[in-house]
C-alpha cells in the first residue's frame, strides 16, 4: 500500500497522522518535492504524480496496480496516462466522485473506455467504492459468513464516546407486526412492572388516551399504574419547536404531566438541530430480581393515536389526520421488535446517555415559560446504577445503531455526532447479492437511493422489492408535493440502475383503501435484517435522533435455497422469517413455497401486483384477485407540478430532508 501526494516532504508527518486518524490501512507515504511551490497551478503535480507511479512500477515489475484517487484534481488524467503507457500493469482504477455522483460511469476522456474499460469504477466515498473495486478485481465479498462481515466494528461506528458495545450475542428477537400486536405485548409487560422495577421510554409523540387494548388500559393508565406500584418510570419525549410545526407539543406535555403526577418523570427534550427532532421509539422494562424477564421494544411504533391497527388494516379508531386518499380512518402498517437478552442493557444505555446529558432540555423562551407554568421538570433526576446485562436467552446477534447530529452544545455521548445507521446500511448493501426487501415510510433521498443503485449496478442478479406508502400522511398539500419531489427523484434513480429488477409497490386493504406504510425495515439476502425508527432519507441518516436494531441470527434456515447470497452466510432464521411473514400478508398467502427463492419471490410479487392492477383498471369487475400490493404510481400522483419546482425543491432540501452532517463530511460525501 502506497500513498502518493503532491505535497512536500515537510508535511509527511501531519498527513500520516490524518491517514491514521481516519482509519486508512498502514502503508508508505510518498511525497513529491521539498517546497511549497504551487505546481498544481501549471499542472506540475500531474507530471510528478505520474513519475512517482511509474517509479514504483519500475521497482516492482511483476505487480499489477490498483489506482485509487478522486476526480477533483489530476488523478483521472494521471491514471489514464499510466494506463496508456503500461496497460498490462493496471488492474483497476477507482475514483471517489467529488462532483457528479449521479453518473454511473466516469468519462475521463475520449480514450478512457478503450484503455480502462470495465476496470474503471467510481463512488462518492470509500465505503461505497470498496465493493465495486472488489467486483472489478473479481475477488468478490469475504466468504467467512461471520458477524463482522455484516456488523460495524467499534471503530467503524465512528463514535468513540459512546458506552455501547459493538454488538451483543445470545439475544431473543421477536417481530411484532402491527401496532395492535405490539400494544398488547407492551400492556402485559407494563402490568407486571412493580416495586423496584424500571420503565424507561423515548418517543417522538405520546398520546395519553391512546388505548393499548380494546377497553383499556390507555398509555397513561399503563405508565401511571406501573409508577403507582413502585416502578421507577422515566421518559424522554420530543419537545417540538412550536405548535405551528409540531402537533406533538400539546399531547407530549399532557402525557408528561400525567405521568409526573403518578410519581414518574418525563422530560420534554428539544436538544436537536434547528428543524430537527427526536425520532427514536423505545420502551425498556427491567426487573432487578428477575433479569430473564427484562425486555426492550424498539422499532417504528410510537405510543400515539393511529398506531393500533392490525392485519385487516381497518385503522385505529383513535385516528389522526392524513391525506384524504387514506379515508376517514387511516390504516397503518408498522413493525416493532421485542428484544430479550444482553441487548436490553445496551438499549438502556442508549436511554441513560440521553437522560444524563447535562445540557438544558430547551433554551427557547416559548418552551421555558410554558414548561415552568405547567410545572414540568427541566432537569433530570439521578438514575441508580444500571443492573448487569440480562443472561443470554436466544440465538441472535444484535447491534444497536443510532443517528445523532453534531450540534452545540455537543452530546457527551456523541460529540461529533453518530451516523452508524447510514454506515451499517452502506456495509450491508455492499454485500447484497440477490434480494433486498425494504418497507419504508420515506424512501425519498437521492443520497440514500444512490447506495441502492450502486448495489444493483454491482450485482446483475440482485432484486429490490420496496413497499412504500401511496402518498405522504399529511393533510398539507404543499408538504405532500415537496415530499413527492424527493420520493420521485430517489425512486427514478433506483429504477434506472436496476430496470425490471426493481419493484416499488404500495399496499391497500381489502376495501380498496391505501394502507399507510409506516414501517422502516430492510432484509438483505435473508441474512441481515434491520428494523427501527429511521427512514431511508438524509434527515434520518444525518439530522434527527434515530434508533435501529440490526439482527444476524446464528440459527440457519435449512430450507432451499440455503445460501441465497452465495457468500457462505446462509439463510438466517430471523431475517428469512421476517421477510416471509410480511410478504405472506401482503400477498394473502398461507404458504412459503413461492417465496423462499428470492427470484421466485420477485416473480410472485410481480404477478400478484399486475393482476390486482388489471382488476382495478378494468373497473373492479369479477372476483377481486388475492393480494394487496399495487404498482406504485411513480410519475403520476408523485409528479411535482412544474409551477412549484422553483420554490418546492429548495424548501424540500432545506426543511423536509436536511443534511445534518458536518461540512467536511458533506464535502467528502461520507458518513
99 pLDDT band (50/70/90 cuts)?
A: low
Predicted pLDDT at 199: 98
Over range 483-505, report the average pLDDT. 88
Buried b (16+ CB within 10 A) or exposed e, 539-569: bbbbbbbbbbbbbbbeebbeeebebbbebeb
364 pLDDT band (50/70/90 cuts)?
A: confident
Q: Which of 151-155, 260-264, 370-374, 485-489 has the lowest mean pLDDT?
A: 485-489
CA distance 337 to 340: 10
φ and ψ at 360, to 5 degrees?
-60, 140
Which has more confidence, 111 or 571?
571
Over range 620-647, report the average pLDDT. 73
Find residue 418's DSSP bridge partners. Answer: 404
Q: Which of 44-53, 615-624, 660-669 has maximum average pLDDT?
A: 615-624
Q: Which of 655, 670, 660, 669 is nearest to 241 (CA)?
A: 655
Find residue 629's DSSP bridge partners. Answer: 507
Check whether 159 has a pLDDT greater than 80: yes
Q: Which of 137-146, 175-184, 298-307, 532-541 has the lowest mean pLDDT?
A: 137-146
Predicted pLDDT at 10: 82
Radius of gyration of the chain (CA): 26
Check whether 447 has a pLDDT greater than 90: no
**Dihedral sign (CA 319, 320, 323, 324):** positive
Helices (H), 159-290: 179-191, 219-228, 249-261
CA distance 546 to 400: 10
Check whether 36 has a pLDDT greater than 80: no
Predicted pLDDT at 639: 45
Q: Which of 29, 28, 88, 81 is nearest to 62 (CA)?
A: 88
Predicted pLDDT at 35: 60
Predicted pLDDT at 83: 86
φ and ψ at 469, to 5 degrees?
-70, 155
Check whether 543 has a pLDDT greater than 60: yes
Between the alpha carbon of residue 158 and those of residues 21, 404, 416, 529, the distances in Å are: 11, 11, 9, 21
Q: Which of 39-43, 365-369, 539-543 has maximum average pLDDT?
A: 539-543
358 pLDDT band (50/70/90 cuts)?
A: very high
288 pLDDT band (50/70/90 cuts)?
A: very high
* CA 219 to centroid of chain Cα atoms: 28
Q: Which of 391, 597, 420, 627 is nearest to 506 (CA)?
A: 627
Over range 230-258, report the average pLDDT. 84
Over range 264-287, report the average pLDDT. 96
39 pLDDT band (50/70/90 cuts)?
A: low
Q: Name residues whose C-beta falls within 8 Å of residue 591's C-beta, 6 or more positions apart in sequence.
A: none
485 pLDDT band (50/70/90 cuts)?
A: confident
Check whether 31 has a pLDDT greater than 90: no
Check whether 34 has a pLDDT greater than 90: no
Which has more confidence, 386 or 639?
386
What is the share, in percent, of the chain residues with pLDDT greater than 70? 90
Over range 308-326, report the average pLDDT. 89
CA distance 132 to 128: 7
Mean pLDDT of the chain: 89
Predicted pLDDT at 123: 85
0.85 surpassed by pTM: yes
* Beta strands per DSSP E along 156-220: 168-177, 198-203
Predicted pLDDT at 103: 47
Buried b (16+ CB within 10 A) or exposed e, 235-262: bbbbbbbeeeebebbebbbbbbebbbee
Q: Which of 254-258, 450-454, 517-521, 581-585 has the lowest mean pLDDT?
A: 450-454
355 pLDDT band (50/70/90 cuts)?
A: very high
Predicted pLDDT at 38: 53
Predicted pLDDT at 365: 85
pLDDT tens figures, 115-136: 544 478 888 888 788 888 888 8
11 pLDDT band (50/70/90 cuts)?
A: confident
CA distance 191 to 209: 17
Over range 46-61, report the average pLDDT. 88
Cβ neighbours, 10 Å, residue 622: 8
Total number of residues shown for the chain: 671
Query: Strand 28-31 vs strand 435-439: parallel, antiparallel, or unpaired?
Result: unpaired
Q: Name residues whose C-beta falls within 8 Å of residue 609's C-beta, 6 or more positions apart in sequence.
A: 503, 505, 627, 629, 630, 631
Check whether 42 has a pLDDT greater than 50: no
Over range 297-316, report the average pLDDT. 96
Judge residue 203's burial from the number of C-beta atoms within 10 Å of its C-beta, 0-12 exposed, 13-18 middle, 19 or more buried: buried
Amino acid at each position: 500500500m502506497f500513498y502518493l501526494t503532491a505535497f512536500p516532504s515537510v508535511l509527511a508527518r501531519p498527513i500520516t497522522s490524518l491517514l491514521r486518524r481516519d482509519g486508512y490501512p498502514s502503508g508508505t507515504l510518498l511525497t513529491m518535492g521539498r517546497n511549497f511551490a504551487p505546481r498544481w497551478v501549471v499542472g506540475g503535480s500531474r507530471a510528478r504524480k505520474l513519475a512517482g507511479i511509474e517509479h514504483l512500477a519500475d521497482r516492482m515489475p511483476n505487480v499489477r496496480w490498483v489506482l485509487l484517487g478522486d476526480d477533483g484534481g489530476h488523478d483521472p488524467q494521471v491514471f489514464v496516462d499510466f494506463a496508456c503507457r503500461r496497460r498490462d500493469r493496471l488492474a483497476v482504477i477507482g475514483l471517489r466522485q467529488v462532483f457528479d455522483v449521479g453518473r454511473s460511469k466516469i468519462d475521463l476522456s475520449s480514450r478512457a473506455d478503450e484503455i480502462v474499460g470495465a476496470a474503471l469504477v467510481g463512488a462518492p466515498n470509500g465505503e461505497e467504492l470498496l465493493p465495486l473495486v472488489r467486483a472489478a478485481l473479481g475477488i468478490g465479498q469475504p466468504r467467512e459468513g461471520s458477524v463482522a462481515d455484516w456488523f460495524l466494528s467499534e471503530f467503524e461506528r465512528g463514535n468513540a464516546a459512546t458506552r455501547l458495545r459493538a454488538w451483543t450475542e445470545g439475544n431473543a428477537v421477536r417481530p411484532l407486526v402491527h401496532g395492535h400486536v405490539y400494544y398488547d405485548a407492551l400492556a402485559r409487560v407494563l402490568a407486571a412492572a412493580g416495586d423496584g422495577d424500571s420503565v424507561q421510554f423515548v418517543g417522538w409523540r405520546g398520546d395519553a388516551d391512546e388505548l393499548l387494548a380494546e377497553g383499556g388500559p390507555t398509555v397513561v393508565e399503563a405508565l401511571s399504574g406501573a409508577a403507582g406500584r413502585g416502578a421507577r418510570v422515566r421518559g424522554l419525549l420530543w419537545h417540538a419547536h412550536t405548535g405551528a410545526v409540531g402537533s406533538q407539543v400539546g399531547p407530549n406535555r399532557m402525557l408528561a404531566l400525567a405521568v409526573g403526577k403518578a410519581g414518574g418523570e418525563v422530560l420534554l427534550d428539544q436538544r436537536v438541530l434547528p428543524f430537527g427532532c427526536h425520532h427514536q421509539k423505545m420502551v425498556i422494562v427491567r426487573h432487578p430480581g428477575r433479569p430473564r424477564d427484562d425486555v426492550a421494544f424498539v422499532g417504528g411504533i410510537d405510543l400515539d393515536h393511529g398506531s393500533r391497527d392490525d392485519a385487516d388494516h381497518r385503522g385505529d379508531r383513535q385516528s389522526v389526520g392524513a391525506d384524504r386518499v387514506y379515508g376517514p380512518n387511516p390504516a397503518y402498517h408498522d413493525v416493532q421488535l421485542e428484544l430479550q437478552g444482553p441487548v436490553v442493557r445496551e438499549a438502556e444505555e442508549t436511554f441513560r446517555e440521553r437522560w444524563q446529558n447535562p445540557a438544558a432540555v430547551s433554551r427557547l423562551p416559548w418552551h421555558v415559560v410554558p414548561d415552568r407554568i405547567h410545572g414540568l421538570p427541566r432537569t433530570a433526576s439521578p438514575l441508580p446504577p444500571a443492573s448487569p446485562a440480562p443472561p443470554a436467552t436466544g440465538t441472535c446477534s444484535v447491534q444497536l445503531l443510532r443517528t445523532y447530529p453534531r450540534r452545540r452544545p455537543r452530546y457527551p455521548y456523541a460529540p461529533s455526532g453518530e451516523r452508524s445507521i447510514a454506515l451499517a446500511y452502506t456495509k450491508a448493501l455492499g454485500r447484497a447479492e440477490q434480494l433486498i426487501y425494504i418497507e419504508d415510510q420515506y424512501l425519498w433521498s437521492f443520497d440514500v437511493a444512490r447506495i441502492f443503485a450502486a448495489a444493483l449496478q454491482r450485482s446483475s442478479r440482485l432484486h429490490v422489492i420496496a413497499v412504500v406508502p401511496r402518498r405522504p400522511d399529511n393533510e398539507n398539500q404543499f408538504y405532500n408535493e415537496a415530499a413527492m419531489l424527493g420520493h420521485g427523484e430517489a425512486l427514478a434513480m433506483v429504477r434506472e440502475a436496476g430496470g425490471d429488477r426493481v419493484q416499488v409497490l404500495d399496499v391497500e386493504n381489502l376495501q380498496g383503501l391505501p394502507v399507510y406504510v409506516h414501517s422502516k425495515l430492510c432484509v438483505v439476502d435473508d441474512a441481515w435484517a434491520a428494523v427501527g425508527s429511521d427512514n431511508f432519507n438524509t434527515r434520518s441518516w444525518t439530522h434527527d435522533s434515530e434508533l435501529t436494531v440490526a439482527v444476524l441470527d446464528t440459527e440457519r434456515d435449512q430450507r432451499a435455497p440455503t445460501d441465497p447470497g452465495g457468500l457462505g452466510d446462509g439463510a438466517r432464521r430471523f431475517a428469512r422469517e421476517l421477510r416471509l411473514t410480511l410478504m405472506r400478508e401482503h400477498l394473502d398467502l398461507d404458504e412459503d413455497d413461492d417465496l423462499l427463492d428470492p427470484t421466485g419471490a420477485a416473480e410472485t410479487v410481480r404477478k400478484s401486483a399486475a393482476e390486482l392492477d388489471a382488476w382495478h383498471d378494468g373497473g373492479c369487475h369479477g372476483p377481486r384477485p388475492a393480494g394487496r400490493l399495487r404498482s406504485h404510481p411513480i410519475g403520476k400522483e408523485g409528479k411535482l407540478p412544474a409551477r412549484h419546482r422553483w420554490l418546492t425543491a429548495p424548501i424540500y432540501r432545506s426543511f423536509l430532508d436536511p443534511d445534518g452532517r458536518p461540512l467536511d463530511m458533506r464535502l467528502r460525501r461520507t458518513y
